[in-house]
Structure 1
Amino acid sequence: MLLPETRRSISHVVDLLAEVKMMAAMEHPHIVEFIGVAWDSLTNMCVVSEFMAGGDLKALLSDYEEQNHPMGFNRGKLKIALHIAHALTYMHSLDPPIIHRDLKSKNVLLNEKLDAKLTDFGTSRERVNESMTGGVGTCLWMAPEVMIGDRYDDKADMFSFGVVLSELDTHLSPYWHVKDPNDSSRQMPEPAILQMVATGKLHVKFSKETIKAVVELGNACVSLDPTTRPTASDALYKLHTILANESEKDGFVK
């Protein structure tokens, strides 16, 4: 939807229309369904999409934290991760591939059964060249190459996916464990965090309760070198394997 302060901006109207075009072209069970567009003028439009009764993943994890829900992965959390990986695999397999560029827990919506679907394609772009430049997305989920304005591709989404895996594990915001060196009661300022992430000196943290294979996948996703990160299909296969193995030995947290 165009906010009142942006309705007279042609660039914002064009951006919304681009998002509409992209949403209308995608059809997948783990991407929020596009219903249509409502408007009474060219500058007063809104996108209509399916209603997701479970809210967003960020809110769910905040509830888990307040309720002292156990850290680590249970079947429900792993299912959410699987659904995100399914959506990314679909997007990255299109011709040309589509890069979300703003994957974070707030942009993962849930239904009443906690089935997950990706939303908010306002910063997504078709990968028409070998790689792109231009920093987009929300900083704490952003890949280092995007932060510094370097060339990037669909592996930028995989970095963000690794950050989301850490959120699913701990229920906390990325880099929650990093404290201000001058005041240990406060979190390190975001610019300092981003500088450390961009240079590979800081990574997201997983809890000791987390399944080892999930930690390995998450750490691979947030590798400083994009070429060493798994593809979405690699991550999807790995998650299916983890689910099968842990179900067999009942290795999930309760």
Structure 2
Amino acid sequence: GFDRSKVTIALHVAHALTYLHSLERSVLHRDLKSRNILLTASLEAKLMDFGVSREHVDRTMTAGVGTSLWMAPEVMLGERYDDKADVYSFGVVLSELDLHTLPYSHAKEKGYSDRQVPDTAILQMVALGELQVEFSPQCLESVAALGRACVSVDPANRPTAAEALHILHTALTSEV
């Protein structure tokens, strides 16, 4: 579930993405995942590891970068992508904050044999829109709805980082 500290962490990450995406030459992080979010002693979230980040010059890019389980379908498929790819990864991070598990761990356990479903099969299902991250019943509905919107297969259906920031700010001030 989401308490005040988790919503605040998510808010800080959304704020950082909003900043990066709103620069005159917007910057895509391209490897947003929980391991690239550091927390200060006062639980202030800081984005790190900009090793694969890049100025968003030509409006879209096609280089498949990032860490697979957090990667947007359009990046996995080698299609053109933009700042909405970071928003997808943010939705995966929201699920991690809620469930305290790695992305798609629920699907890895649902194999038809005694073996786990391999990551390649998971990634294929994600890329085809057949699998999404989950949220717990205890998750704030506004945060779960935001997370589900962020991981929409169609980038046009994902919110911007600024829209996510607004939703989280509202949740922080009125729901927790």
TM-score (norm 1): 0.68
Q: 1:80 aligns with which of 9, 23, 39?
A: 9
Q: 1:113 aligns with which of 38, 42, 50?
A: 42
Instruction: Give runs of aligned pairs for residues 64-213 of structure 1, distance below 5 A.
Output: 72-178=1-107, 179-183=109-113, 186-213=115-142
Q: Which has the higher strand share?
A: 1
Q: Which amino acid aligns with 1:129?
A: D
Query: In structure 2, what is the Cα distance between the partners aligned to 1:75 and 1:183?
Result: 40
Q: Does the residue aligned with 1:214 lie in a helix, a strand or coil? A: helix
Query: In structure 2, what is the Cα distance between the partners aligned to 1:187 and 1:214?
Result: 29
Q: Does the residue aligned with 2:46 lie in a helix, a strand or coil? A: strand
Q: How many angstroms does 1:216 deviate by?
A: 0.5
Q: How many angstroms does 1:130 deviate by?
A: 1.7
CA deviation digits over 1:158-178, x for unaligned, max 9?
A: 000000000000000000101
The 4+ residue runs of structure 1 with deviation greater than 3 A are: none
Q: Which amino acid aligns with 1:127?
A: H
Q: How many angstroms does 1:127 deviate by?
A: 0.4
Query: In structure 2, what is the Cα distance between the partners aligned to 1:213 and 1:171?
Result: 18
Are positions 1:239 and 2:146 aligned together?
A: no
Query: In structure 1, what is the Cα distance between the partners aligned to 2:83 and 2:18?
Result: 10
CA deviation digits over 1:114-151, x for unaligned, max 9?
A: 11000000000000002000100000000000001000
CA deviation digits over 1:63-100, x for unaligned, max 9?
A: xxxxxxxxx00011111000000000000000110000
Query: In structure 1, what is the Cα distance between the partners aligned to 2:99 and 2:140?
Result: 12
TM-score (norm 2): 0.97
- The total of aligned residue pairs comes to 175
| Aligned-pair identity (%) | 62
Q: Which amino acid aligns with 1:195?
A: Q
Q: Which has the higher contact order (CA 8 A, sep 6+)?
A: 2
Query: In structure 1, what is the Cα distance between the partners aligned to 2:18 and 2:42?
Result: 22
Q: Which runs of 5+ in 1 are unaligned?
A: 1-71, 248-254
In the alignment, is the contact (CA less than 8 A) between 1:180 and 1:189 conserved in 2? Answer: no
Q: Which has the greater radius of gyration?
A: 1
Q: Which runs of 5+ in 2 are unaligned?
A: none
